[in-house]
Chain A
Amino acid sequence: MEIKRERIGTGTADTGGGPVDPRKLRVNTLDSHELLRGAELLGPSQPATMDGEELERYVHERVLTTTLEKAVAWGRSNSFFPLAFGLACCAMEQFQAAGPRLDIARFGYEAFRASPRQADLIILAGRVSIKMAPIIRRLYDQMLEPKWAISMGACCSSMGVFNNYALVPSDKFMPIDVHVPGCPPRPEGLMHGILKLRAMVQDDPDAGWRERYGARGTEEIVPGA
């Protein structure tokens, strides 16, 4: 099967850079009809002679068109691999989110990875001391793109009740996609945050956020690896 990738409205190689004629999309649709007919995908019960309204309805019921970006984002957002990483008391709520009552496996996020290189979501569950911050940053850098970060709880976002020499808010040393407020947030709160992140990944991958903070290309490159 052939997948064609086209950017609507900004031109493709076919049109020499100009915008795509909307009528061409119609032609593409008809082409896909031909493809179905020619490949005899309709099955033995459906003679290849199907035509007109009947074929139109048949295709409408069975073919879903989308963009590759959307398909990929849909896949990514429904299978986050969180890093198995807890910092303080919020981690208890994080575990509970994986427990039977909330069960984030329902959404496909149950695969907590022990290695940052296999994870694409880091949940900072707890307060971050200034001695821990470089270590967390290193973990974040070891994760591969695309990657996301959730700051869970008041301490991690704004140091909460600990406004003193020992702690640092997580925005200071790494980009955070979603802040979950609470002290600690209930597991439902964390779940809400993850689902917000899912919506972000699906509909509006970054909302321009990463560009604003220069949060691109932060992978740690291991020499010779």
Chain B
Amino acid sequence: MPDATGLELLAKELRDENTVGSEAILGTLHFRARATLEVRPEANRAVLAYLRGRGYASLMSVHGVDYYPHEPRLGVHYELLDMSAVDRVTVTTRVSTDAPALDSVTPDGPDGPGWPTANHQEREVYDMFGVVFAGHPDLRRILMPEDYEGHPQRRDFPVGGEPVIFTYNEHESFGVTR
């Protein structure tokens, strides 16, 4: 884990980098010994590509978060690991529910090779949070049925659940094949 100073240095390094741009890093967060870089959504590929060259060559996890009621609501976290230095850094980016679009990091691109491990994990984030990853090779639902409506891990998704039929209320409920 970079310490707080190391994280600031890493952020400065990224801001000075031409491929990333000085505006790309929104902020840093060092909380409970975890280093987090907050980046603009359009810069996610460039930041990950630079950090890969920096040694953080393993993408351990991609996952979504819903920060409701804070805007922009949807967060996507990329957990990077430097295997030789045993060092981790988290890259987060936030998109709104109105335009939940983000570049996929799965395919190879002009800014460098992709991260094939992100394929299924981006599909899961799409399934559960509705973030649309542009350029993803096969963006389908992965856990819920194909015809499912809505993205159930969003905080404003109704808790719902099916009403349970007991003997006392079976006549008011939908039966099996009646």
Contact = CB atoms under 8 A, between A and B. Distances in A.
Interface residues of B, number: 17
A175 B144 contact: no
Given A131-B143, A131-B145, A164 B176 contact: no
A195 interface: no
B152 A165 contact: yes
B131 to A, nearest CB: 18
Contacts of A215: 176-177
B176 A168 contact: no
A12 interface: no
Nearest to A165: B152
Interface in A105-159: 130-131, 157-159
Contacts of A171: 164-165, 176
B164 A169 contact: yes
Interface string B140-178: 000111001000100001011110110000000011111
Given A131-B143, A164-B161, A169-B165, A175 B152 contact: no
A172 interface: yes
Given A131-B143, A131-B145, A165-B152, A213 B161 contact: no
Given A172-B176, A175-B176, A214-B177, A131 B144 contact: yes
Contacts of B152: 164-166
B2 to A, nearest CB: 38
Nearest to B159: A164
Nearest to B178: A214
7 contacts: A130-B144, A131-B145, A164-B152, A166-B152, A172-B165, A174-B176, A175-B177
Given A159-B162, A215-B176, 9 more contacts: A130-B144, A159-B161, A164-B152, A164-B160, A165-B159, A213-B175, A213-B177, A213-B178, A214-B176
